[in-house]
Amino acid sequence: MDVRMVWRRWLAGHDRVRDALPAVPVVVVVTATTAVGESSWHEPRWQAAAWTAVSCLPLVVRSRWPLVVTVVTLAAGLALMAWAPDLALVPAAGLVALYTLAVLGSRRTAWTACLLASVALAGVHAATHAESLVAGSALLRFDFAIAATALGRAVRNRRDHLARARERAERAESMQEEEARRRVTEERVRIARDLHDVVAHHVTLVNAQAGVAHHLLRADPDRAFEALAHIKENSRAALDELRATVGLLRQPDDAPGTRAPIPRLADLDRLADGFRASGLSVEVTRTGVPAPQTAATELTAYRIVQEALTNTHKHAGATRAAVLLAYGPHALRVTVTDDGSPGAVRGAGTGHGLIGMRERATAVGGTVSAGPGPEGGFRVVADLPLPLAPASV
């Protein structure tokens, strides 16, 4: 692992050590500066070095109390400038504190402290050196405080920018995860709807035909055998549709060609035959001019008819049902009616069938309504949009 990375991680867990580190170069530089003469080196002024070291002690807690540390270090530095006016440097500990205040504090607090510190530094230097407040050396001290604060604000702005960028990235990632969860939920609902349609329809027919076979097994073996044949046919159809549904989940796309195993409106007559074999008379009627339709619309219409007839056979106690496919210029209306009555309900349903029909219709831009028919019985009406015909040239 990189040594610098290890060092940074160690400092991140030791705030006091990190805050005190700038004191080391500050003391070293001040000590070396006091040893510089006009023409040669001489022994450092140890009193100034010691005073500088003492003024750096508050830096240990500069991250916790930046404003207090700024006031203390600047006061100590200004006292040092007044006591040793020939010292060339400004209060370095105070500049470090100003930088820290600019990074951690508010903009107003940082620049207010900077302005006061700049005026104080320039004023003390001018007073101790008998110079004008606008002299070059006095203005240099003024600029040092400005530079420390400006550097701190630049670091603060950069950190804020990186934090906002990180927040945007996390928000985008969260939105992607939420979108993925939403799609997974929609896919689960679609799979549950398909399996419900397939299983409920065929199991209902198999159950009805098994009851017929059991009832006629001794009295009329031929009809019982015929009912058993229908059970075999419906169970095989159920397996085929289940296999096709599972196969769709393995397809890389949802192109129309991948829906070949799924039943369509052309298979409604065969669907009606299955219900007739179980004792429900079903009549299929088509009106209007059949128009081209998408595979999704055709599958939706078929499933709605299938579910409506299944509900009729299971719950309505009906003996007859009628399916009407009315093709209009822009929509296909599917109507399923029966002659059942509320008093003849055979069992309570879960309500998933009607929910599934509405979800299917909504998915292709259509609507479904269900309720008692005007002449008794129950009626399901679905309006499904048809694709616009291409304009003739």
pLDDT of residue 329: 85
CA–CA distance, 59 with 63 (Å, rounded to integer): 8
Return the pLDDT at 153.
Answer: 92
Whether the pLDDT of residue 10 is over 60: the answer is: no
User: Can you list the alpha helix ranges (DSSP code H) found in the chain?
Assistant: 3-12, 15-20, 23-34, 46-56, 66-83, 92-104, 107-128, 136-216, 221-249, 268-277, 295-311, 352-363
Q: Are 20 and 53 in contact (CB under 8 A)?
A: no
> Tokens 């996390």 belong to which residue?
170
Q: Is pLDDT of 335 > 90?
A: yes
User: Is the CB of residue 202 less than 8 Å from the CB of residue 231?
Assistant: no
The C-alpha angle with vertex 242 and arms to 236 and 246, in degrees rounded to 5, equals: 145
Outline which parts of the chain fall under CATH 3.30.565.10. Answer: 269-393
pLDDT tier at 255, thresholds 50, 70, 90: very low
CATH 3.30.565.10 fits 269-393, yes or no: yes
pLDDT tens by residue, 54-107: 777 787 888 888 898 888 888 888 887 777 666 556 677 888 888 889 988 888
Angle value at C-alpha 158, between 111 and 167, nearest 5 degrees? 120
Give the integer Cα–Cα distance in Å for 291 and 386. Answer: 8
Distance CA 280, CA 205 (A): 10
Phi and psi, residue 317, nearest 5°: 65, 30
- For residue 187, the Cα-to-chain-centroid distance in whole angstroms is 17
What confidence score (pLDDT) does residue 383 get? 93
Structure tokens at 179: 């979108």
Rounded CA-CA distance 123/126 in Å is: 5
DSSP states along 56-67: HGGGGGTTTSHH
- Can you tell me the distance from the alpha carbon of 241 to that of 243, in angstroms, rounded to the nearest whole number? 5
**CA 139 to CA 29: how far, in whole Å?**
21
SS3 373: coil
Starting at the edge strand found earlier in the chain, the sheet holding 320-327 runs: 281-287, 320-327, 331-338, 378-385, 367-372
Handedness of CA 285, 289, 292, 296 (dihedral sign): negative
Beta-carbon contacts of residue 228 (< 8 Å; ≥ 6 apart): 209, 213
Q: For 211-236, what is the mean pLDDT?
A: 72
Tens digit of pLDDT for each residue in 98-155? 888 998 888 899 899 888 988 888 888 777 776 766 666 677 777 888 888 999 899 9
Token code pair at residue 234: 């419906």
Distances (CA, A) of 36 to 13, 48, 72, 240, 330: 39, 13, 28, 97, 96
How far is the C-alpha of 296 from the C-alpha of 361, rounded, in Å? 10
Higher pLDDT: 44 or 393? It is 44
